[in-house]
Amino acid sequence: MSTDGNTPQRWIRPEVQALRAYHVPDPGELVKLDAMENPYRWPDELVEQWLDVLRKVELNRYPDPGAQALSALLRQTMQVPEDRQLLLGNGSDELIQMLALAVAQPGRVIMAPDPTFVMYRMIAEVTGMSYQGVPLA
């Protein structure tokens, strides 16, 4: 990496540069319950149904950013009152990040149970907040 001062890194905050990707250990033959993964292959019939739906998706267009159809279906299925809001995201990383960005201010702290998902600490650091783990016992 160049150190001549003309690299994009000069604009990146030191605490962000210090971040490292978290390591996900190879589970081997274990079932990864913490990752919400299904350890079993989908039945062939379900794969075909999924492919039928996927063939109709307009992959050349951005999806609805508000996920209005999904939101309406969730509202109906879960009986969520109209005066309540739904926050949808692409996994827990994005949801934690959206919430942190909404409240981030100097001196604020993100608290989470300890041990916890590593993204709470990483997102706190990226948004300039402190992280405080709260022991479960």
CATH of the domain at 67: 3.40.640.10
Residue 90 lies in a domain: yes
Alpha-carbon Rg for the chain in angstroms = 20
- Cβ atoms of residues 115 and 131 within 8 Å: no
Residue 5 lies in a domain: no
Residue 10 lies in a domain: no
Instruction: State the DSSP string of 51-120.
Output: HHHHHTS-TTS---TT-HHHHHHHHHHHT--TTS-----SSHHHHHHHHHHHH--TT-EEEEEES--THH
- Cβ atoms of residues 50 and 39 within 8 Å: no
Residue 15 lies in a domain: no
Element of type H or E holding 135 = strand 130-135
User: Is the model's pTM score more than 0.85?
Assistant: no
- The residue segments making up the domain with residue 42 are 27-135
Please provide the average confidence, as pLDDT, over all residues in the chain: 88
Residue 107 lies in a domain: yes
Residue 14 lies in a domain: no
Residue 16 lies in a domain: no
The per-residue pLDDT for range 99-115, each reduced to its tens digit, is 999 999 889 999 999 98
pLDDT at 31: 81
Q: Residues near 53 by Cβ (< 8 Å), separated by ≥ 6?
A: none
Bridge-partner residues for 131, per DSSP? Answer: 110
pLDDT class of 23 with cuts at 50, 70, 90 = confident
Locus of tokens 């300039």: 128
The per-residue pLDDT for range 32-52, each reduced to its tens digit, is 777 777 888 999 999 999 999
The structural domain count of the chain equals 1
Residue 21 lies in a domain: no
